[in-house]
Amino acid sequence: MPNDTLSYEVQGLSDPQAVFDALERRDDLSIWNAARVAPSQDMFYEQLRAQVGYATYHHGHIKNAKAGLRHHCAMLMTPLIFPAMYTNTLSGPTGVSRAITTISAWVGQWLNYKSDVSLVSTPIGYSEICTWSPSEMREKLDKLVGEKTFLVSTVGDQAEQENSLRLPEDAPRLMFLVGYIQRPLEWPTLPPEDGLEDMRLTSKIVAAMQFCSSRSAHPDITARPPSFASEALVDGIICWFDAIHAHSGIYRWDVEQVDQDVVTLHLEVGEDAKETSAIPLRAHQLGIYGVENILKHVAAIGTGLITKPQ
């Protein structure tokens, strides 16, 4: 968690502002060039994930009565695991937007009203979030702070993104309520872990999302407590894999290194799987340790590797 002495330095760079400036310029190429020469990949991606998910704004960047103060902001996500085809049963964007407005107020209460909260008015699929580059993720945070929202994919693009994961049609889907929290003069914090309060909040979130379904029978939805973006992504992915395993079974698995930021996790989902599902994991979103924790979890529930180590 950042503090008031947050540095934008990334090890391996002669200029400690280089990556921060690259994010401001939306220059991912410079970030990947820096990653290649960083002496510690773990440290580089730990600091990078902090920079894309947190920001400080001054007078002129944020409009409110407290202009002139430094405002510290963090992207917040709430993992939601839906049954397949849930989005086809939503009652419409107006109903969903109203539900999320109510959820935003509940999250503010859960935070003991210590931070301002704003959530995007529709759940966003992991299949979309995992396409965001570092500069795109930082731009989403900038948009949230300035405009309270950002553009999400069209229905057609969302379907294409989900299809790219190659999951069985009836497999659970992972989505997130995405927003930001901010405080003047100090970094926003989350409340201490409290099982009862967390359960109260997630139960209300589930009820609100069930109410948005046009089906007479309420769909089985799982919600996790809100957290900062990186931690919420790791938590949501692990719970999602548990849900897929309980529903269809996760059997053999494998990992493919796509580039310095992305690994693709290949999963055999279902006993008669004809192809593997392909789940991208991005180090700038999860951190190296987050990616490792996800892989360890899959290793614990899977039956073994698809390709044997040489």
- Do residues 188 and 73 touch, judged by C-beta distance below 8 A? yes
CA–CA distance, 34 with 23 (Å, rounded to integer): 12
pLDDT tens digit string along 187-235? 899 999 898 999 999 999 999 998 887 665 566 899 999 999 999 999 9
- Those residues whose C-beta lies under 8 Å from the C-beta of residue 171, and which sit 6 or more positions away, are 84, 244, 247, 248, 269, 277
Q: Give the per-residue pLDDT at 33.
A: 87
Place of tokens 């309980």: 246
pLDDT for 2 equals 42
pLDDT, position 155: 77
Q: Is 79 helix (H, G, I), strand (E, B) or coil?
A: strand
Q: 290: closest CA among 267, 263, 270, 266?
A: 263
Please check whether residue 13 is in contact with residue 36, taking contact to mean a CB–CB distance below 8 angstroms.
Answer: no
Whether the CB-CB separation of 279 and 308 falls below 8 Å is answered with no
> What gap in Å lies between CA 130 and CA 263, rounded to an integer?
11
- Which residues are paired to 56 by β-bridges? 72
Residue for token pair 């107006």: 94
Mean pLDDT by 10 residues, the chain (310 residues): 38 54 88 86 87 78 55 94 74 78 95 90 94 94 86 81 91 95 89 93 94 69 96 98 95 93 95 91 95 96 74
- The torsion angles phi and psi of 55, rounded to 5 degrees, stand at -160, 160
DSSP, residue by residue, the chain: ---TT-----TT-SSTTHHHHHHHHT-HHHHHHHHHH-S-HHHHHHHHHHHHHEEEE-BTTB-STTTTS-EEEEEEEEEEEE-TTGGGGB--HHHHHHHHHHHHHHHHHHTTT-SEEEE-SS-EEHHHHTT--HHHHHHHHHHHHHHS------HHHHHHHHHHTT--TTS-EEEEEEEEEEEESS---PPPP-HHHHHHHHHHHHHHHHHTB-SSSPP--EE---EEHHHHHHHHHHHHHHHHHHHT-EEEEEEEE-SSSEEEEEEEESTT-SS-EEEEEEHHHHHHHHHHHHHHHHHHHS-EESS---
Helices (H) and strands (E) in the chain, counts: 10, 11
Q: In what order do the strands lie in the sheet with 250-257?
A: 277-282, 262-269, 250-257, 304-305
